[in-house]
Amino acid sequence: MESSEILLQVEKTAAWLKKLAAGFKPDTAIIAGSGLGGALPRLEDRVAVSYKDIPGFPATTVKGHAGELVFGRMGGHDVVMMKGRFHYYEGRPISFIAFPIRVLRALGVKNLLLTAAVGSLKPGLKPGQLVILKDHINLMGSNPLMGNYHEAFGEMFPDMNDPYDKALRREAVKLARKARVRAVEGVYTAVTGPSYETPAEVKVYRLLGGDIAGMSVVPETITARQLKLRVAGLCWVSNFCSGISKKVLTHKEVLELGEKVSGKLQQILEGLLKSKAIKE
C-alpha cells in the first residue's frame, strides 16, 4: 500500500472513531498485553467497540487479547484503551503494527502507556516483578516504519535516544512501591516469536544487555516516537526464559498469572492517569 493510501486509511478510521465516541478527546492511550485486560483502569462514561467493527482493524487472533477499543475518562483525562494488540507473529506485515498507533495519534493522543507480559533473562528478576522500561533492543529483524513513510507521521529517521519518557518512568516506579510491587527499570529485548527463546538465545540476549524478552512493545514504541508521543512501558515478568528455570510455562499459565497481578498493575496505571507526570 502506498504511503498516501495508508494516511487516508488512518484518517478514515480516526474519523469513524471520532463519530462513534463523540465528545471524547483522548490525550492518553493504554495498550493491554496478554492476560492484562483486567489491569486496565476503571474508566467513567465508557464507550466500547469491537476491533472487527472498526474500519481497518482486524480481529485479534491471540487468546488473552479481547480485541476491543474502549473510550472513557479518569483523572481529568479522556482515555482510549486497546484491550489486546496486534503482533508481528500473527502473520501481518510489521508495518501494520504502526497503523493503530497512528490512528491513536490522529484521535489526539499524546501519551502512550504500554503493558506486556515478558520473560526474565536473569535469575534475580523473578516472576511477579514489574519492569519499567528504560530502553530496548530490537531483534525482530525489521522495523514498523519501513516502506510506509509519509511526512504526516513525522521524521523519516526518528531519534530513539530516549524512547521511554523519564518522568513517566520515575512516577511508575514510585507508584509501584506504593502498591508494594517489586519494580526495577530494565531493557526489553524484542523478538518475533511465536516460539519461546532457546537457552542459547537467552544467553546471547543477556550478553547484549537485555533484562527481559518479549514479542511486542518495541514496534509500537518506535511508531509512537516517530509521532512524538511520550511512551511508558510497564512489563510484568510472567516466567523465566529457557535455561534459567526447569519449569516450562504454557501460554495458558501466562494468562492465569496475568490475572493475579492485574489488580496491582491497575493501581499503577490509574495512579499515572492522575499524576502530574502525565501532564508534563
Q: What number is the average pLDDT over the span 115-119?
A: 92
pLDDT of residue 191: 97
Q: What is the enclosing helix (H) or strand (E) of 120?
A: strand 111-120
* Residue ranges of domains in the chain: 3-279
Q: How far apart are CA 216 and CA 208, in angstroms?
A: 18
| pLDDT(22) > 80 | yes
Q: Is 150 a catalytic residue?
A: no
CA distance 54 to 59: 9
pTM: 0.93
Give the pLDDT confidence of 57-85 residue by residue, as tens digits: 876 665 555 689 999 999 888 999 999 88
Contacts of 5 (CB under 8 A, 6+ apart): none
Determine whether 89 is an active site residue.
Answer: yes
- Residue of 95, 148, 216, 238 marked catalytic: 216
Q: Which residue has the higher pLDDT, 53 or 38?
A: 53
Catalytic residue among 11, 89, 196, 259: 89
Residue 34 designated active-site: yes
The residue assigned the cell 493501581 is 267
pLDDT for 92 equals: 86
Task: Output DSSP code: residue 277.
Answer: G
Give the fold, CATH level 3, of 3-279. Rossmann fold (3.40.50)
Would residue 117 show up in a list of annotated catalytic residues for this protein?
Answer: yes
How many Å apart are CA 65 and CA 223, to the nearest integer? 21
Among the listed residues 14, 21, 32, 34, the single catalytic one is 34
Q: What is the mean pLDDT of the chain?
A: 91
Q: Please report how the helices 251-274 and 166-178 are oriented relative to each other, as an axis angle in degrees rounded to 10.
A: 110
Residue 261's pLDDT is 76
